Chain A
């Protein structure tokens, strides 16, 4: 089955700097790659997602890139702010789109003011 690896497990950046979190997946048939932000005591919140027919997607300070050949995708957060501090999870799923998500282990991002 699908396996998703996520790095790094922890990341500290200065406010205003960029943060990059990387994930790899094992099943080349996976075609949906969401990123979730989880704050303490809350459920995962979708922040951006990308499908395999697209190489990059951007939403304000957040972007995701996908390299299907290498089977990896990355989350980029620019101009980080203290409120970006949270645990970020990547995930992957197979078609047709309602198949279960397979999550990475998460990255704890700390933005230092």
Chain B
């Protein structure tokens, strides 16, 4: 069964450093998303991406965050200057169209120290 692949599985970074989280969505999917989950809390939407541009973003997704699809397969989330409160699991998800379900990756655990 096709999967959404995320790397790395765990990233530890110092406060103030830049991090890039990587995702390879399912190949025929058209819509891409980043969600995050702070330990023990609900999954929260960050940003959606379609046709090489952001289609929607939450209030969490401030100017410290950016997304990019640099080639035909990768979808990245960059956090410019990490804060302690950015520590969370970050999930990438994709869907093929407007009538399909979301497929989530297994996540990247980001720890900011």
Q: Is the CB of B43 within 8 A of A42?
A: no
Q: Is B44 an interface residue (CB 8 A)?
A: yes
Question: For A86, what are the chain B residues with a Cβ–Cβ distance below 8 Å?
Answer: none
Question: For B65, what are the chain A residues with a Cβ–Cβ distance below 8 Å?
Answer: none
Number of A-B contacts (CB under 8 A): 58
| Residue interface mask A78-113, B partner, CB < 8 A = 1 | 000000000001010000111111111110000000
Q: Is the CB of B98 within 8 A of A96?
A: yes
Q: Is B13 an interface residue (CB 8 A)?
A: no
With CB as the reference atom, state the residue of chain B lying closest to A44: B104
Interface residues of A (CB under 8 A from B): 34, 36, 41-46, 49, 89, 91, 96-106
Q: Which residue of A42, A46, A99, A106 contacts B42 across the interface (Cβ within 8 Å)?
A: A106
Q: Is the CB of B104 within 8 A of A45?
A: yes
Q: Which residue of A43, A97, A104, A105 contacts B104 across the interface (Cβ within 8 Å)?
A: A43
CA distance A43 to B104 in the complex (A): 6
Interface residues of B (CB under 8 A from A): 4, 6, 31, 33, 35, 41-45, 48, 50, 55-56, 58, 91, 95, 97-107
Interface residues of A, dominant DSSP:
loop
A and B contact pairs by CB, cutoff 8 A, 29 listed: A34-B101, A36-B104, A41-B106, A42-B106, A42-B107, A43-B4, A43-B6, A43-B91, A43-B105, A43-B107, A44-B91, A44-B104, A46-B101, A46-B102, A49-B101, A89-B42, A96-B98, A97-B99, A97-B100, A98-B31, A98-B48, A99-B48, A99-B56, A100-B48, A100-B58, A101-B43, A101-B45, A103-B42, A105-B41
CA distance A106 to B42 in the complex (A): 7
CA distance A108 to B91 in the complex (A): 19
